[in-house]
A = this chain, B = another copy of it.
Amino acid sequence: MVHCLIIGAAGMLGAGLAKRLIEDGAIAGKAVSRLTLFDIAVPSTLPEGGKVVVEFEAGDISSPETAERLVATRPDVIFHLAAIVSGEAERDFDKGYRINLDGTRHLFDAVRKAHEADGYYPRVVFTSSLAVFGSPLPDVIDDDYIITPRSSYGTQKAIGELLLADYSRRGFFDGIGIRLPTICIRPGKPNAAASGFFSNILREPLAGLPATLPVEPSVRHWFASPRAAIGFIAHAAAVDGALLKERRNMTMPGVSATVADEIEALRAIAGDDAVKLIRQEIDPAIVAIISTWPKAFEASQAEKLGFKADQSFEAIIQAYLEDYAPKAEKQA
B148 touches A145 (CB 8 A): no
Give the dominant DSSP class at A's interface.
loop
B162 touches A166 (CB 8 A): no
CA distance A62 to B62 in the complex (A): 20
When C-beta atoms are compared, the residue in chain B nearest to A142 turns out to be B146
Interface size on A, residues (CB 8 A): 24
Smallest CB separation, A243 vs chain B (Å): 14
A169 within 8 A of B: yes
CA distance A134 to B144 in the complex (A): 11
CA distance A159 to B163 in the complex (A): 9
Please provide the chain A residues from 86 to 114 with a CB less than 8 Å away from any CB of chain B in the complex: 93
A275 within 8 A of B: no
A169 touches B147 (CB 8 A): no
CA distance A281 to B93 in the complex (A): 53
Smallest CB separation, A63 vs chain B (Å): 17
A143 within 8 A of B: yes
Choose, from A42-50, A149-157, A205-213, the stretch at the interface. A149-157
CA distance A150 to B145 in the complex (A): 17
Interface string of A198-241 (1 = CB under 8 A from B): 00000000000000000000000000000000000000000000
B146 touches A147 (CB 8 A): yes
A149 touches B134 (CB 8 A): no
B169 touches A150 (CB 8 A): yes
B134 touches A246 (CB 8 A): yes
Give the 10 A-B CB pairs with smallest separation, nearest first: A155-B166, A144-B146, A155-B162, A159-B159, A158-B162, A146-B146, A152-B166, A159-B162, A145-B146, A144-B145
What are 24 sample pairs from A and B whose C-beta atoms fall under 8 A apart?
A: A134-B246, A135-B246, A136-B246, A143-B146, A144-B146, A145-B145, A145-B146, A146-B146, A146-B147, A147-B147, A148-B165, A148-B246, A148-B247, A149-B162, A149-B165, A149-B166, A150-B169, A150-B246, A155-B165, A158-B162, A159-B159, A159-B162, A159-B163, A162-B162
